Amino acid sequence: MQAWIQGCKPQNQLLPSFMNMPELERKKQLISLTPLIDIVFILLVFFMLASTFSQWSYIAVSISEDGETSLSVPQQTLLGVKASTGPLPSFIVEGQAYEQDVLIAKLKQQIADHPEHNVLLLPEPDLALQQLVDGLVYLQNQLGKNVSLAMPQPLTAVQTEQEN
Amino acid sequence: MRIPDAEPVRRDSENVLPLVNIVFLLLIFFMLAGTLSKPEPFKLSPPQAAVEATITPGEMQLQLSKDGIFGAENEVLTQVQLLEKLSEGKVTTVQLKADASLPSKRLMHVIRLLSSSGVVDLQIVTEKTS
């Protein structure tokens, strides 16, 4: 930049004599950096305010065609999620609350016995989306298997896919 | 002691050159590193999750506030308008950007609504955590 500015300085000794006119020198001095800086500042402020650095990912939930796939309980493992204030939601299976380690062991056992079974997660009505997402991601990571979201009343299942 | 002659006074524009350099660098950084955020009709804080799947631009994005208000393309939509929009565009994939504190009963209501209007692929948008 410095060099460029140096290069732009009037170098009268290099110019032909007819170009050494007073008007030309005045015009050269009139070209100033200030408007350029103004524009660059405005652009900078615009990009600072308008750009975002958060990266978005997603959890895929594929909805079955009719949307009313009824849940056939013998083939599925039903898992209720209770709202809790902890970092992870607590899980309830068949009316009984389990500690997370015990629950994961139990579910893994069930999956080993019946590989065709799906894990269904039935969220409590007032469970916040953040906790639901935490629960889904936790179960999918622990079980290495897709966890479906069960819809309460009417009992419908939608499939969530784990993206790798 | 001989004090060297003071340098001739430099022009004002030369004094701001380092500043201009920095501003240019910042400008280029923000232009390249940031992505322009899409305008949203209301404030949203989507849930955070450590999942890898990155959303692809171009799909229809639907915003959902924690009170169950719908928004799309910087407009607030009523349920009727939303259904019209979905049926008109024959939308099958929807990115749902919902607030992290949205109760799941509202989410389930929305999923049922979307599935009844022909959406087969729903993506719940999450903010990537490291």
**Among all chains, which residue has been given the structure tokens 């009727």?**
B80
The pLDDT value recorded for residue A73 is 44
Of A54-63, A93-102, B48-57, which gets the smallest average pLDDT? A93-102
B79 close contact with A: CB closer than 8 A: no
A54 contacts in chain B (CB < 8 Å)? 127-128
Q: What is the mean pLDDT of chain B?
A: 82
The one-character DSSP state at A145 is S
pTM: 0.67
Q: Please judge whether A127 and B103 are an interchain contact, meaning their C-beta atoms are less than 8 angstroms apart.
A: yes
Which tokens hold the place of B113?
Answer: 């609504």
The pLDDT value recorded for residue B75 is 84
| Amino acid at position B54, single letter | T
Backbone angles phi, psi at A72, to 5 degrees: -95, 105
CA distance B73 to B86: 13
Q: What is the pLDDT of residues B15-38, one digit of tens each?
A: 778 888 898 999 999 888 888 777
The whole-angstrom distance between residue A161's C-alpha and the CA centroid of its chain comes to 16
Helix (H, G, I), strand (E, B) or coil at B5: coil
Reported as a pLDDT band with limits 50, 70 and 90, residue B48 is confident
> Which residue of chain B is at minimal alpha-carbon distance from A62?
B121
Percent of chain A whose predicted confidence (pLDDT) is above 90 = 2
CA distance B41 to chain A (A): 15
CA distance B99 to chain A (A): 7
Helix (H, G, I), strand (E, B) or coil at B63: strand
> Which residue of chain B is at minimal alpha-carbon distance from A41?
B23
CA distance A140 to A154: 25
**Which segments of chain B does DSSP mark as H helices, in order?**
12-15, 17-33, 79-89, 104-116
Quote the longest CA-to-CA distance of chain B. Answer: 92
Helix (H, G, I), strand (E, B) or coil at B85: helix
Half-sphere exposure of A96 (CA within 13 A, CB side): 6
Q: Is B110 exposed, middle or buried (0-12, 13-18, 19+ CB in 10 A)?
A: buried
**Per-residue pLDDT at A155 exceeds 50:** no
3-state helix, strand, coil in chain A (%, to 5): 45, 25, 30
* Number of H-type helices and E-type strands within chain B: 4, 7
- Closest Cβ–Cβ partner in A59, A62, A132 for B120: A62
Rg of chain A's alpha carbons, rounded to an integer? 33
**Among all chains, which residue has been given the structure tokens 């939308």?**
B91
CA distance A128 to chain B (A): 5
CA distance B15 to B18: 7
**Among all chains, which residue has been given the structure tokens 């997402």?**
A133
Residue B54: closest CA among A136, A164, A140:
A164
CA distance A160 to A149: 7
Q: Please judge whether B128 and A51 are an interchain contact, meaning their C-beta atoms are less than 8 angstroms apart.
A: no
How many C-beta atoms lie closer than 10 Å to residue A119's C-beta?
A: 20
**Per-residue pLDDT at A5 exceeds 60:** no
The pLDDT value recorded for residue A65 is 46
Q: Please judge whether B98 and A130 are an interchain contact, meaning their C-beta atoms are less than 8 angstroms apart.
A: no
Q: Please judge whether B115 and A57 are an interchain contact, meaning their C-beta atoms are less than 8 angstroms apart.
A: no
Beta bridge partners of B70: B64, B77
Element (H, E) at B122: strand B121-128
Q: What is the pLDDT of residues A33-87, one digit of tens each?
A: 788 888 989 999 998 888 888 888 888 876 654 444 434 444 556 666 665 555 6
* E runs forming strands in chain A: 51-52, 56-62, 76-82, 90-93, 96-98, 118-123, 147-151, 156-161
Q: Please judge whether A56 and B128 are an interchain contact, meaning their C-beta atoms are less than 8 angstroms apart.
A: yes
Of A17-31, B40-54, B93-107, which gets the smallest average pLDDT? A17-31
CA distance A18 to chain B (A): 26
**Per-residue pLDDT at B71 exceeds 80:** yes
The pLDDT value recorded for residue B25 is 92
